[in-house]
A and B are shown apart, each in its own frame.
Chain A
Amino acid sequence: MGIFENFGLFFTNLFGILTNPVELLLLFGSVFLGIVFGALPGLTATLGVALLTTLTYGMSLSSAMVCLLGIYVGAVYGGSFASIMINIPGTAAAAATALEGYPMAKRGLAGKALGLTTTASAIGTVVGMFFVVIFTPLISRLALEFTSFEFFLLAFFGIMISGSISCPDTVQKGWIAGFLGLFLAMVGRDQLQTYPRFTFGITSLESGIETVPVLIGAFGIPQIIQVLKDKTEVPKSNKLEKVLPSWAKIAKNIKTIVSSSLIGVGIGAVPGIGEDIAAWCSYGAAKKSSKHPEEFGHGSEEGIIASETANNACIGGAMIPLLSMGIPGSPPAAMLLGAFLLHGIAPGPMLEVERPGFTLLVSAILLLASIAMWIVGILMAKQVVKLLKIPPQLLMPVVGVLCIVGSYALGLKAINLYLMVPMGIVTYYLTERGYPVPPLIIGVILGGMADANLRRGLMVSEGSLMPFVTRPVALILVLVILFTFLNNTAVFKRFKAKLFRRGKAA
């Protein structure tokens, strides 16, 4: 398709949604729901997408995407409400926002802080959307040249990098969580020889473990256990005056917005790294480059803008590998992958061949979602703040019922529930002990792809491992994986420190 045809299709999608009252209502409704999900501590963007997936099952593709992307965009932004008003990040992505937003709210500037987060988040989402439009077709075209070896290595790279970056403790815990995910993906009949693996003779397990219930279990159940087990009390909210968009402040901080958007998109595009890491990296970079770093931690507007622009720009970034290679860039994107598959969309290099214009549909929805988010954020902030008063002890059990009925609704199989609950308990146990969840999820999602592609590749090369080093992209991926591994070993760290000392001495 030519550039003008693409433009035409983009605007057709845009007007198609704008002129459809049902889809418009769904857009605003799901964005508002997303903001509520993000704002309420304990509920996350991933859980929001997961629970809404079950409700979109009977909808048309366009309506379903409107709902899912709407809740995703809304939830990532919504986290800032709790951060600013009660100093508890609604989502992990809004943790950096709390550092600056809460001190502003204490000074009576909550409305101003929310105005900044609303506008910065909307800009971040739009920038992310532009990157989706530009880079998805390019990477898809590149990915068409990939063979089985590259796809296997990409899956492995996703687990390695996600394990390295998202781990709150030692890096080996991140990797082993990834391996656990890979193991879970092996359950069921294998794709090439249909041999039953790790099924314990249970017929229901032969078709493998369904991703969506596993994700609901991994993200929903630990939150329920955590919030109910620990005595969580909702602190008194700060007073909220009128929310102002603060365009002048935004214009003044344009440099921060540009750099934060780029950081957000870049981090989002790395498999399995979520909005929280994007927000922290951007916050750190803004602090380093700021003319007033001493203001950070005491209500810096620049800090709020940096964190909120990046976490929303990360949405677009996460969509790029998802759409072009079928590799999710963040945990909510992993959930979206499950939703895409439910609606008969197989993301990857062949996406634009099988579903021409799907990327543009996603981009158009992202643009509309960011506008809807801005409008809802400015107009309904007071209503959202009121919802922060709902005690989590009343809210989380309702979420529990939704998790259960939602998991069951996907496939109408009781086995989904029998897997969801233990999965949630295992994830809770692992999280408590410093094992990260994103690599586990990436492992579950990419395990099948890694397995089938490794064996298919070796079948073509008749068992030769040479393509790993003779194919340029494969070689680059091997080197990156090796570097990621070595960079986290004590020997390499000592070697690096020695080199650094020698360099300094010289």
Chain B
Amino acid sequence: MIDKNKLRGSDIISGGLFGVLGIYILIESFQMPLSDSYGGVTTHWYVSPALMPIIIGIGMILLAIVIIVNGIRNGGKEQLAAERNEKRGKPFIDDNKIRFYAVMLPLVSIVFINLNTIDFYLNAVMYLLFTTCFFYLEDIVFLKKGITIATVFEIIIAALHFSGVDRKLTQVFFASMDLIGLAAVIVMNVSLIMYAKKAGNEVYMKKAKHIMLVSYIMPLLIVPLFKFALRVPMPHEGGFINLMSMVYYALR
């Protein structure tokens, strides 16, 4: 939780957001059948699907007002102004924001960009490799370098996916998008090893080994567990999972 002294200022903002949500709920609710006919059935206000949303909307608006008023009364406005002054002159992107972005980038990528594009094993490797590289090394220089590599590759994958080019590419070769994912993994991995070697730091080399071990081995346990033991088809089965299937059914 953020510092209690700063909470009243943030209450004004979060209360405002809740208020807006409450208004949206009310607007949507009043468009639902209230006491007219729906599906050939005449309804009354008390059986209307809008009844509960209206209660929720009103409750949310009232509580949001209380939170905002409480925030203003307890110095929230002054806190917000002080925070604004504090931020003035400081760089917009600080280490804290970079770390937050570094958590979110692989997480958002694995779900919203790579899920239906890249083989899930490779997708999981990408997520683990990116995240562990960013945080386990605890080196801000490599963190920034890693973010750049990951962002570039994710932009390429997103562009191909959302423009529909990926479908054309997979018609040519079914695992063509996996090759881009694989390239991202290789580039990140090589960068990690080179950085650790250049730093000449024993701890970095040891950490690089741990990162690779976790990134490649864990998905190798998780994916077959779900795919073959629990019979759960993976979101996207590309080159790697097909290879796993071939091995599994050959051995079975």
Contact = CB atoms under 8 A, between A and B. Distances in A.
B49 A421 contact: no
Contacts of A130: none
Contact of B214 (A398, A408, A458): A398
A421 B138 CA distance: 25
26 contacts: A54-B230, A183-B53, A193-B39, A193-B49, A195-B32, A195-B38, A197-B28, A225-B104, A228-B99, A228-B131, A229-B100, A391-B136, A393-B135, A397-B106, A397-B131, A404-B111, A405-B120, A405-B124, A409-B230, A420-B111, A432-B1, A433-B7, A434-B1, A434-B7, A455-B48, A458-B47
B197 interface: no
Contact of B63 (A57, A172, A408, A414): A172
Contacts of A197: 28, 32, 49, 53
Interface stretch (A72-80, A174-182, A265-273): A174-182
Nearest to A424: B107
Contact of A394 (B45, B108, B120, B132): B132
A451 B120 CA distance: 39
Given A408-B235, A418-B112, A431-B1, A401 B53 contact: no
Interface stretch (B64-72, B154-162, B185-193): B64-72
Interface stretch (B78-86, B172-180, B218-226): B218-226
A354 to B, nearest CB: 27
B103 A225 contact: yes
B141 interface: no
B47 A170 contact: no
A368 to B, nearest CB: 25
Given A172-B70, A176-B60, A197-B53, A401 B136 contact: no
A433 B222 CA distance: 34
Contacts, number: 183
B231 interface: yes
A503 interface: no
Given A176-B63, A228-B102, 17 more contacts: A57-B230, A169-B7, A172-B70, A179-B60, A182-B56, A183-B60, A192-B47, A193-B43, A397-B132, A398-B128, A405-B120, A405-B124, A405-B223, A409-B230, A417-B111, A430-B14, A433-B2
B103 A228 contact: yes
B232 interface: yes
Contacts of B233: 412
Nearest to A401: B124
Interface of B: 1-2, 4, 7, 10-11, 14, 18, 21, 25, 28, 32-33, 38-39, 41, 43-49, 51-53, 56, 59-60, 63-64, 66-67, 70, 96, 99-100, 102-104, 106-108, 110-112, 115-116, 120, 124, 127-128, 131-132, 134-136, 138, 210-211, 214, 218-219, 222-223, 225-226, 230-235
Given A183-B25, A432-B2, A397 B127 contact: yes
Interface in A383-422: 391, 393-394, 396-398, 400-402, 404-405, 408-409, 412, 414, 417-418, 420-421
A421 B112 contact: yes
Pairs of residues from A and B, 3 with the lowest C-beta to C-beta distance, nearest first: A458-B46, A397-B131, A190-B49
A230 B231 CA distance: 37
A173 interface: yes
A221 B49 contact: no
A182 B46 contact: no
Contacts of B59: 175-176, 179
A435 B32 CA distance: 30
Contacts of A190: 49
A418 B219 contact: no
A463 B230 contact: no
A195 B107 contact: no
A414 B115 CA distance: 8
Contacts of A107: none
A478 B72 CA distance: 32
Interface centre among A179, A180, A412, A433 (most CB of B within 10 A): A179
Nearest to A413: B235
A404 B106 CA distance: 12
A447 B53 CA distance: 10
Contacts of A404: 110-111, 124, 127
